[in-house]
A and B are shown apart, each in its own frame.
Chain A
Amino acid sequence: MEMDQQPTTDILTVETIHTYIGQFHILEGVSLRVRRGGVTVLLGRNGAGKTTTLKSILGLTPPRQGQVILDGQEIQGKRAFEIAGLGIGYVPEHRAIFRDLSVAENLKIAERRKGDLERRADFIFDLFPDLKRLYKLPGHHLSGGQQQMLAVARALVADNKLLLIDEPSEGLAPVLIEQMMEAIRELSATTTVLLVEQNFIMASQLGEHYYIIDDGRTAHDGAMADLIHDTALIRRYLGASAARVGGEFAARSEQRRGG
């Protein structure tokens, strides 16, 4: 593969990690490489181990075996706050914002150095103009979509070189999904994003590269442009509805090329 020829472009390498939660062997050898810049997508069914992969990278569920290398530095075994401090932003699933904190405090708490928020405020409000209006409100007054925007914005306050974003489209209305997609596309111009996404429309439009996690293992990977044509592969790992979406995309891009 071409990736093997340019290892220096990888910002993150995960090498056959094994992660246990309690007695359960959740990850049984996940490997992946995230190239600097752009969006890499983790695909897979519910319970395949996508979220655990993100948490293992960050050290929230530390892997027992294997290596995680960030910018040439081994980070497995460090504590989560140390790993995050190296420049990883995390957007957990289910819009995990701090409900009792105001929007302003939700952002302020993510500062790693004094003045981080002031420095990044324009960029953040550019991406999510709503947050400026809601700045003083407590988190639990926000709608689901606004909470999700805030969760992403919070990961942008500190100077992060890698963002781990878990299911940003979950439970959002279609209009908001569009908006979220636009925001992630925009911020991926300046940082690297590793995205977990069940919504195949969103995943296929954002991702340049994909990995399929199945049963705690890396099952497949490649360029997103190839995946949307491979209906059989999609149906096998991601289900029939994703395959339909993939088929439509493929057909549309054929049409565009033909017309």
Chain B
Amino acid sequence: MKLKGFWRQNSTFVVLMVLLILLIPLGWITMGQKPFVRTVLSGLTLGALYLMVAAGLTLIFGLMDVLNFAHGAMFMIGAYAGWQFYTNPTFLFGLAPLVFALMTGLAATPLLRPLVIGWPVPEEWQRRLRTFLILLAIAVGVIGVLGLDLRDLAKTAMVSTMVAANPLAEATPQEPLARFWLRPTLLLIAGLLMALAQARPGDQTQIVHRAEQRRGWIALLALLALTVAAVLVREPAAIVVLKMNANWRFALALLVGMLIGGGIGAVMETSLVRPLYVRPFYLVIATSGLAFVLKEVVQFLWDPLPYQMERPPLFAQPGKADSILDWFSAQTTTVDILGVTFPSYRLFIIVLGIVMLLGLLGLMRYTRLGMIIRAGVQDREMVEALGINVRRVFTLVFAMGVGLAALGGIGAAPFIPVEPVMGDRFLMQGFITVVLGGMGSVSGAAVGALLLGLARAFGDYLALKFQLTPAISEASTVIIMAIVLLVRPSGLFGKKE
């Protein structure tokens, strides 16, 4: 009876694993050891990248029924953020004070609410007042950034990538602090005006929570401190980061890019996505629209050119290590694995993918948040009825999903060109992965990513060997998806149809 239950739960997984294991000797014999190992490793690298995009997509779709067409753009933004931070973070540090200032203002919302709730604003004027406040906030914000030369800041990393110059010499002189401090101040005011609009003056149907107030103060003070710090260190911080050990700088770039992605995800959910949950079709338009806007912004800042981000020194010493152990001391570009010379950085991508997968599975399995997500995928209404703020969970999951896509982008930046359209391919494959694995299932996305990555790699191999068009490897993923959907319409591990 126990065995039967295990079989019913895991049959898909077992069948797939047995199939893959049977295919290994077949491939090994027919292809020969070297091509086989090389193809498998390429497949795993691709699979790891697909997973980083698909993990967020599947969670966001599973929990919120949102098809996030901006996910590829988030992958791209992550790559740009990581590339900037690693090559020359002047741009990021120059922008940080403004972003933090705006957030500080917005964080005042729960604190303003009890003050303005009793304002004598007649009901028909409340909406108009809010619109006016938001327009005013936008005007103040625009004045705040007027004349700030974003493109000059953006150029720093561009130049150091293209001419391989010393990035320290390229740190563009910035506005003197005596003039610059006005900008964050104006943005703080803009944020406060927006917070005022969000606090809905005169709307007495709102509830004021004590706990929210306390948290509000903590958030406000923390952000204020962060803003002041960001204003003061915006020039020296860039230099400190550049003087840092490049391997640490790269690790930090992964973290920073992920946080930037998470922040963008949180803002995107609360502003763009939340009002449209009831109109799913508009969401498709809104998210794909956002993707276009982000691509244009990136093109404006860095020109529509492909950049090649430098690999961190850990993976950049010339030569070949005889084994992975050997690589730890030699830190070479390539490693010998079962007779195949393979780029060490790609191994890092595989490891990054596995670490991310384990972390995500652990989160889903052992934390309260994971439990709430799994429950919410099935029945959001009931989760809310238990007294859980599902809206906040939505924001968190959206931020997490976008953060993971951004992480994938930075991971990919050192070995695929950093360019505005780099995310589009991954978005498509990410969607196929999600459909293949079943909406809302992390392990499904992992298996789907593995299958797709291998299919692409073996498709490329076959196309090369038999002189077929390379389109065959791209078609293979769609064919796999079609077959799986015929057999299991909800995907391999699908929870919902």
Contact = CB atoms under 8 A, between A and B. Distances in A.
Interface of A: 58, 60, 77-82, 84-85, 90, 92, 96, 98-101, 105, 108-110, 112, 138, 141, 154, 158
Contact of A81 (B5, B368, B377, B390): B390
A178 to B, nearest CB: 26
Interface stretch (B298-306, B381-389, B470-478): B381-389
Chain B interface mostly? helix
Contacts of A141: 5
Contact of B371 (A58, A92, A109): A109
A98 B388 contact: no
Interface in B1-53: 5, 9
Interface in B113-136: none
Given A99-B378, A100-B374, A109-B375, A58 B387 contact: no
5 contacts: A80-B385, A82-B207, A99-B378, A100-B495, A141-B5
Contacts of A154: 386
Given A77-B205, A100-B495, A110 B381 contact: no
Contacts of B5: 141
Q: List 3 A-B pairs, minimum CB-CB distance, nearest first.
A: A84-B387, A85-B387, A98-B375
A85 B390 CA distance: 13
How many B residues are at the interface, by size bracket?
Answer: 20 to 34
Nearest to B5: A141
User: Which of A60, A92, A98, A141 has most chain B Cβ within 10 Å?
Assistant: A98
Contact of A96 (B377, B379, B389): B379
A60 B374 contact: no
A100 B387 CA distance: 20
B379 A101 contact: no
Given A90-B382, A98-B375, A108-B371, 7 more contacts: A60-B381, A60-B385, A78-B207, A101-B374, A112-B387, A158-B386, A158-B387
A71 to B, nearest CB: 15
Nearest to A100: B374
A90 B382 CA distance: 8
Contacts of B381: 60, 80
A98 B374 contact: yes
A81 B387 contact: yes
A98 B379 contact: yes
B372 interface: yes
Contacts of A78: 207
B466 to A, nearest CB: 44
B439 to A, nearest CB: 13
B384 A81 contact: yes
A109 B207 contact: no
Contacts of A82: 207
A141 B5 CA distance: 8
A141 B1 CA distance: 12
Contacts of A90: 382, 385-386
Nearest to B495: A100
Contacts of B371: 101, 105, 108-109
A110 B385 CA distance: 9
A60 B390 CA distance: 12
Interface in B355-411: 368, 371-372, 374-375, 377-379, 381-391
A197 to B, nearest CB: 19
A117 B391 CA distance: 24
A141 B9 CA distance: 10
B365 to A, nearest CB: 10
A84 B374 contact: no
User: Which of B374, B382, B390 has most chain A Cβ within 10 Å?
Assistant: B382
A16 B205 CA distance: 19
A81 B391 CA distance: 10
B495 A80 contact: no
Contacts of A158: 386-387
Nearest to A92: B382
A141 B387 CA distance: 26
Contact of A101 (B375, B387, B390): B375
B262 to A, nearest CB: 23
A253 to B, nearest CB: 37
Contacts of B375: 98, 100-101, 105, 109
B472 to A, nearest CB: 37
Nearest to A141: B5
A102 to B, nearest CB: 10
User: Which of B205, B383, B385 has most chain A Cβ within 10 Å?
Assistant: B385
B209 to A, nearest CB: 9
A80 B382 contact: no
Contact of A92 (B378, B385, B388, B389): B385
Contacts of A81: 384-390
Nearest to B9: A138
